[in-house]
Amino acid sequence: MIPDVNESAIQEAIRTFDRGERELPAWRGWELKSNYKFALEHGGKRYPVKRIIALATGVPESHFSGGEEANSFLQKRGFQIAKLREEPERQHLTALLQRAAELQLKYSSANTPDMQERGEIVRRDAPAVVRSWLPDGSALEAKGKDGTGRKTRVPWLRIFDPSQSPSPTQGFYLVYLFAADGSAISLSLNQGTTTFDEGAFVPKPEHEIAANVARARAALASGSNTSLLAKDFSLADPGGLGEGYEKGNIFAVNYDARSMPSDETLRADFLRMVSLLERLYEVEADAGATDHGQNEVAEAESPPLAVGSLTKHVIESLEAYGFAYEPWQVATFVAAIRTKPFVILAGISGTGKTKLPILAAQSTGSDRMVIPVRPDWHDSGDLLGYTDLSDRFRPKPFLEECRKAGQSPDRQHFVVVDEMNIARVEHYFAEVLSRMEDRIFAGATSGSLVQSGGAGYEAYKDVGIPPNLAIVGTVNMDESTHGFSKKVLDRAFTIELSDIDLTQIPSILGTPVAVEFGAVGWRGEFLRLAEAADSGNNEQLIKSRIAELQQLNHVLSRAQVQLGYRSRDEILLFVLNAQVDEPYFVDGKGGQVDPFDLALMMKVLPRIAGSSHAIERVLDGILELAVPGKIAAATLASWLEADMPAAVLGATWPRTAARACLMKQRLEDGYTSFFL
């Protein structure tokens, strides 16, 4: 329950927000974020409802509900509440599709206001309506795309079963397609016309496309009435993506954009096409002919991804195995692998550090290998291989797995380096660290890991780290282990699994079925920041976060631990790649966890270690940035009084603030670090 306050307290909260918070990076553009549905309107400005109540009452936002509770609280005190946008489920698909078609006439490859409106319809509003039409218990999902970076001429809304079509390049699916000239909209049962090969989309031979069309039509000939469905349509996009969709069409319902039918008709057509899709899935499965590699669908602007469905599947599989991870921990692991496939999992013994990557690999049909580190490892020969006294090269398992992954580029591989810091990482991991950067920019295999060797070396001389191989190190931090240098930490995402609830007793729900997502499911949408910077929505997010990083770097410079360009890019790429999994960045109670906050935890705080006054000043500065308007000592005192929670309520960076408090407290003993 929200404590009672008078109108003047709310007025003062409004002034506080205007003076001290409105221009902070955390609040810039808040009205555009999908999780904000209402605003307090006052004096010609808009204010976040829950934030104003929190400022007025002193109660953290997490302690009361938004929506009706918060809105009525302000309305009863004479304030006006406005909707920021219409709820998608209340909109009519007829109007949405018609408006998107109208916006096709204002097409621009840049993210203009018209293209932003088109994107909201295609990615958010129309999928919400379509999802509400799906039958109860349906496994189908809906996802729209209008182009990553440069806007596509032919946006689409895809309806698919993740187990049959785990990514836009796999399996059959339904798709709403918008003609480039705005004249028509088609609901098509389609199949792919390109393959994604070495970073580019390559058209499939026309005879393969035609064969797939004929096979699908034949499969639906019995038991399905398709006589009134169209076998062709025009998207007015010669030589572009639309032409490929025209060739890949199996059956379609075509609409004149100027005279769209009612929602009742659209819904009936949709359900009819859904029944065809499900029938096709059944026939393909019965025939044992479902070959995801043969039914690929192109997406013009970004690599094919099985993004949200992969993360959801991993979370559900871990629960089925009986392991307790919070959703944000799994989503963070997935986003980190997609951004930079070198992840360090830290924490006390018995928290599931080794099981997380093994079971994630197992549930997604990926290869996995565990390499236990020995304390007597002193050079790379213990990890990669060596030449013995008889002048014969003896490869080690890590090198063998790299070769194996290079020979199967469509399959994801995981190498778990267990108890990574029981020996000095810089000694046995030097070549791997050096080569790790080679593959990132082109998404290609790195240079050779081993430069010379005896007999048998020829078979391994060109083996590097391929892009479909992820390295996961597990570490325990105690008196028997070694610390990490900045060279290691700078190249890794460090995730700590320390949130433990001993009252939680998970149930074993059975052995989940592995779903073959392939390497593409673990591939990030962006490998380089430049690929994302041209998108209008991404550009705004990037600029906002860079402003925060600039402030943070000024603080870090006090101890010469500031971020370089590589760390900056990886933080931003992590945030961008995490967007597709936004529903899973929540804690066990459903509270939102900010990916940017987590990125700072993983890439900034592990750099801070020592006993100097400069380190203390850095921690103080981080706390004062994370909790604006409050000195570091006061934040630490409040955190201790609250029994040292994992997140500081009301902070801009809640988890970073909590960890900085812990590190500041440890400094009282003379030394601090992220891991101790």
Higher pLDDT, 347 or 253: 253
Mean pLDDT in residue range 319-325: 81
CA distance 300 to 467: 21
Read off the pLDDT of residues 380-406 as tens digits, 9 standing for 90 and up.
888 999 998 889 999 999 999 999 998
Amino acid present at 537: N
What is the three-class DSSP state of 271? helix
Please report the pLDDT score of residue 531 as a whole number.
Answer: 66
The structure tokens listed for 546 are 């860079």
Domain ranges (residues) in the chain: 7-85, 89-294, 307-524, 565-673
Contacting residues for 112 by C-beta, under 8 A, at least 6 apart: 106, 536
Half-sphere exposure of 562 (CA within 13 A, CB side): 13
Q: What is the mean pLDDT of the chain?
A: 84
Contacting residues for 650 by C-beta, under 8 A, at least 6 apart: 54, 60, 61, 627
Which neighbouring-strand residues pair with 522?
A: none
Alpha carbon separation from 400 to 365, 403, 406, 468, 603 (Å, rounded): 19, 5, 10, 14, 30
CA distance 344 to 373: 14
Which neighbouring-strand residues pair with 469?
A: 413
The structure tokens listed for 565 are 């360009």
CA distance 29 to 37: 13
Read off the pLDDT of residues 586-636 as tens digits, 9 standing for 90 and up.
887 778 899 999 999 999 999 999 999 999 999 999 999 999 989 999 999
Read off the pLDDT of residues 130-149 as tens digits, 9 standing for 90 and up.
988 887 557 788 988 887 65
pLDDT at 183 over 90: yes
Please report the pLDDT score of residue 361 as a whole number.
Answer: 93
| CB-based contact 521:305 (threshold 8 Å) | yes
Please report the pLDDT score of residue 88 as a whole number.
Answer: 45
The closest alpha carbon to 473, from 356, 576, 572, 582, belongs to 356
Pick from 311-325, 473-487, 569-583 the range whose average pLDDT is largest.
569-583
Read off the pLDDT of residues 464-488 as tens digits, 9 standing for 90 and up.
899 899 999 999 866 557 888 888 8
Higher pLDDT, 24 or 574: 574
CA distance 664 to 38: 38
* Cβ atoms within 10 Å of 564's Cβ, excluding its own: 9
DSSP string, 289-310: ---GGGS----SSS----HHHH
Read off the pLDDT of residues 438-467 as tens digits, 9 standing for 90 and up.
654 445 677 888 888 889 888 888 898 998
Read off the pLDDT of residues 106-128 as tens digits, 9 standing for 90 and up.
998 877 888 889 988 998 889 98
Same fold: 89-294 with 307-524:
no
DSSP state of 514: P
CATH topology of domain 307-524: Rossmann fold (3.40.50)
| CB-based contact 343:492 (threshold 8 Å) | yes
Q: What are phi and psi of 184, to 5 degrees?
A: -150, 160
CATH topology of domain 89-294: Metal Transport, Frataxin; Chain A (3.30.920)
Percentage of the chain surpassing pLDDT 90?
41
Contacting residues for 214 by C-beta, under 8 A, at least 6 apart: none
pLDDT at 430 over 70: yes
Please report the pLDDT score of residue 83 as a whole number.
Answer: 87
Please report the pLDDT score of residue 328 as a whole number.
Answer: 93
Read off the pLDDT of residues 504-517 as tens digits, 9 standing for 90 and up.
665 555 566 778 88
Which neighbouring-strand residues pair with 45?
A: 42
